[in-house]
Structure 1
Amino acid sequence: MLLKRTVTALFAALALALPAVLPTALPAAAQECAGQNLFEAMPPAQLAELRAATEAVPYHRGLFWRAEKGGMRVTLIGTYHFADPRHDLAMARFGPEIDRAGALLVEAGPEDEAKLAKALQDDPALIVNASGPTLPERLTPEEWRTLSVALEQRGLPDVVAAKLRPWYVAVMLGISPCMMRIVEERGDAGGLDHLLIEKARAADVPVRALEPWDTVLTLFTGMSLSEEEDMIRTAMPAAEYADDYAVTLSDAYFAGESWLMWEFGRFDAYANSGLGRTQVDQQMQLAQDRLMDRRNEGWIAPIENAAAAAGVQGKAIVVGFGALHLPGEHGVLRLLERAGWTISPINVEGIGNGG
């Protein structure tokens, strides 16, 4: 039962790439858990600094976009991987586009999710380190006490938590215990990605994955011991107010400001992780590179190939993935722009986009 529960939570967290280590890790239906919007309680000067850091990022605001090139057309949908009634607004707008699309591309389709779950059930070593030093041996006593309490709240007792791999711990810390209960009760995260897939399958539109199903299991290979430990330290501050983080995240997403949450994670770690700014920046860059940038670069060819194949039939394609993959110099929008695509925003009434 424990493994089944952690498998569900793992996929829910990693599917977005709004990390828990950052934001590629996000909580579910935030409106069902009690919490406050952290931006509302932030000192004005700090919030202004946070927004200034966000403003410098290309395409930092917006969820829905059109890309066009040589007669090829792509609708790009930045998703939130957890259930929320506001997804109905996006589905009302994009459902008809999916009905007539040549294909829907997503991070992982149902078959991919099933393969991931089976791999984790068949090989616990993917998330459990049975032979190396335990986390209590790698962290300070105070760090381990704080961490063990946070993981216990997420259904992971000390005897299990002590041997978990650091990347998995960092992911789990980004998920609110309340949200984990909701995901478990539902049986899935119920996010916009799943709604897009359900719509495509009902319309007999092919659903294809942007990357191999086991990509999430290889994201953090090759890290040094100190990098792994600092990844946990960077993730720990948000674990203490995960419900607030979940509410803030969902509010930011539906305001079209997902990147604001990424920068919030950085500033929160500056203040509360015990690491210096340089260490935090290194961790954030490492996470961004592995969770987003490298994957984004690998998605461009599948998107272009699918758009070309659909274009021959006079059709467009729809592509849905976690909203944090859209912005930045190595974000999907900028990468397509560099490849000669014309990018324009799509406005959906009731959801912030901004363009």
Structure 2
Amino acid sequence: MKRHIFRPALTAFFLSLTFALPLAAQECAGRNLFQDMAPGRLAELRAASAAVPYDDGLFWQAEKDGMRAILIGTYHFGDPRHAITMERFAPEIARAGFLMVEAGPEEEARLTEAMASDPSLIVDMSGPTLPERLDKAEWQALSDLLEQRGLPAMVASRLRPWYVAVMLGISPCMIRMTQERGDSGGLDGLLTESALAEGVPIRALEPWNTLFTLFEGMTPEEEEDMIRAAMPAARYADDYAVTLADAYFAGESWMMWEFGRFDAYEKSGLPRDQIDAQMQMAQEKLMDQRNASWIGPIETTAAEAAVRGKAIVVGFGALHLPGEKGVLRRLENSGWRISPIIVEGIGNGG
């Protein structure tokens, strides 16, 4: 089963105001950017992350009224360290009543078919082109970055801004390796494959077309600023890949959200209040709204499994776990008891 690259990339979008999760960091050369960070700045990032509920840790258990859910924060692209996670949780999947993921096989198939059959989903043939919307220097820099990612300027000029921002978050190395591999190799797919092998039913947390509705209602200015904010990090995307991979497997995924904020302050050329507004918009569209919509399906599915004396396993991007509006806090507010699951070899944060 070949999984479409752009669904998980969007789920992770905006992790530096672009947030795409990398392929195996060991396979794409780069440097962990935290190593070069001044101690004061690193302490500032850690403090900002620590102020967020459930800011670290990847694996959790939720229990309520005889229902049990195992929650796995995923990393959407391949890494050899996923083997540790799968060794721990494959038996849980085999015993589970259901596996829930952001998009199951049916949703992925419908998404891929839609993107192949309807170019207008990612291409805007009626509005002004990106060269017309950006100044000359911005378009030249953007077209160079997209050329590196296999998108000729003529094609890129008509792409929808949200799709451009997604592509900027994926390094050329990651794109090449995903194409060679045939899928993203991410943890979500490994969980799905395990469930399919065991005959465990799979349910999606959200409709297949969620991808195309997330950025509705943005103004042209917001769309253009989204691209501007993504461009600085795109120039050293392999370093972001390594940094993000290391943060994820240390259980510190929220650190990268804060890193993206401060990196945009320094390199995007946009004022701080504008960056903050974009970060808030991204959080609401990519996480908060979706988190809220997932709680009902999780509770309904957990109740159905509990009738048969079974738990459910739920896998979704790790950045959906933390925060006052994150999945863990929302479940807690709904009466679930939350506790961490420790997996030796994968960190539970700082």
Give the TM-score band, short-chain normalised: over 0.9
**Residues 76, 317 of structure 2: 8 Å contact kept:** yes
Tell me if structure 1 keeps the 8 A contact 2:16–2:257.
no
- 1:31-42 alignment, distance < 5 Å: 31-42=26-37
Distance 1:108-1:19 versus aligned 2 partners, 3 A rule: farther
Find the partner of 1:73 among 68, 71, 74. Answer: 68
Query: Quick check: 2:249–2:346 contact (8 Å CA) kept in 1?
Result: yes
Number of the residue aligned with 1:103: 98
- The secondary structure found in structure 2 opposite 1:31 is coil
Matches within 5 A, 1:15-164: 15-17=11-13, 19=15, 21-23=17-19, 25-164=20-159
The answer to whether the 8 Å contact 2:56/2:251 transfers is yes
Residue number in structure 2 paired with 1:231: 226
C-alpha separation between the residues in 2 aligned to 1:13 and 1:224?
23
Rounded to whole Å, the distance in 1 between the matches of 2:279 and 2:335 is 29
Amino acid of the residue matched to residue 306 of structure 1? T
Preserved CA contact (<8 Å) 2:99 2:312: yes
Secondary structure at 2:208 match in 1:
coil
* Whole-Å separation in 2 of the counterparts to 1:254 and 1:227: 32
Unaligned runs of 5+ in 2: none
How far residue 18 of structure 1 moved from its aligned partner, in angstroms, is 6.1
| Alignment-derived partner of residue 201 in structure 2 | 206
The superposition leaves residues 280-328 of structure 1 with CA deviations (integer Å, 9 ceiling, x where unpaired) of 0000111111011100000000000001001111110000000000001
What is the CA-CA distance between 1:188 and the residue it aligns to?
A: 0.5
Q: What amino acid maps onto 1:161 in structure 2?
A: A
* Match in the other structure for 2:348: 353
Cα distance in 2, alignment partners of residues 21 and 165 from structure 1: 17
Amino acid at match of 2:9: A
Fraction of identical pairs, as percent = 69
- 1:300 paired with 2:295, answer yes
Return the alpha-carbon distance in structure 1 between the equivalents of residues 228 and 266 of structure 2.
Answer: 12
Note the alpha carbon deviations across 1:198-243, whole angstroms, 9 max, x for none: 1111111101100000001110011101110111111111101000
Post-superposition offset of 1:144: 1.0
Separation of aligned partners in 1, 2:18 and 2:330: 22
Aligned pairs (5 A) from 1:168-183 = 168-183=163-178
Partners of 1:172 and 1:61 in 2: how far apart? 27
Q: How many residues align?
A: 349
**What secondary structure is seen at the aligned counterpart in 1 of 2:159?**
coil
CA-CA distance at 1:12 after TM superposition: 3.7
2:123 is aligned with what amino acid? V
- For residue 41 of structure 1, report the CA deviation from its aligned partner: 0.6
Q: Letter of the 2:228 partner, please give it.
A: R
1:333 matches 2:331: no
What is the rounded CA distance, in whole Å, between the counterparts of 1:163 and 1:17 in structure 2?
20
Equivalent position to 2:284, from 282, 289, 296 = 289
Code of the aligned partner of 2:10: L
Which range moved further: 315-324 or 130-139? 130-139
Aligned with residue 10 of structure 2, among 7, 14, 18: 14
Which string of whole-angstrom CA distances, capped at 9 and with x for unpartnered residues, describes residues 137-163 of structure 1?
Answer: 111111111111110000001101111
Structure 1 CA distance for aligned equivalents of residues 22 and 145 of structure 2: 15
Residue 21 of structure 1: how far off its partner (Å): 4.1
Q: C-alpha displacement at 1:177, in angstroms?
A: 0.5
Q: Structure 1, unaligned stretches of length 5 or more?
A: none
- Equivalent residue for 2:243? 248
Helix, strand or coil: the match of 1:32? coil
Consecutive aligned runs of 4 or more in structure 1 exceeding 6 Å deviation: none
Contact 2:11–2:286, Cα closer than 8 Å, also in 1 = no
Is contact 1:13–1:20 with CA below 8 Å preserved after alignment? no
Is 1:324 paired with 2:316? no
Contact 1:345 1:354 in 2 (8 A): no
The answer to whether the 8 Å contact 2:57/2:340 transfers is: yes
SS in 2 for 1:73: strand
TM-score by length of 2: 0.97
State the partner residue of 1:192: 187
Q: Could you tell me how far apart the structure 1 residues matched to 2:325 and 2:181 are? A: 34
Deviations 1:239-267 (A, max 9, x none): 01000000000000000001111111111
One-letter amino acid of the structure 2 residue matched with residue 214 of structure 1? N
Please give the per-residue CA displacement for 1:169-209, whole angstroms capped at 9, x wherever unaligned.
Answer: 11111001100011101110011111111111111110110
Partner Cα separation in structure 1 for residue 349 and residue 222 of structure 2:
36
Is contact 1:22-1:287 (8 Å) kept? no
- Whether contact under 8 Å (2:4, 2:108) holds in the other structure is no
Q: Is contact 1:17–1:325 with CA below 8 Å preserved after alignment?
A: no
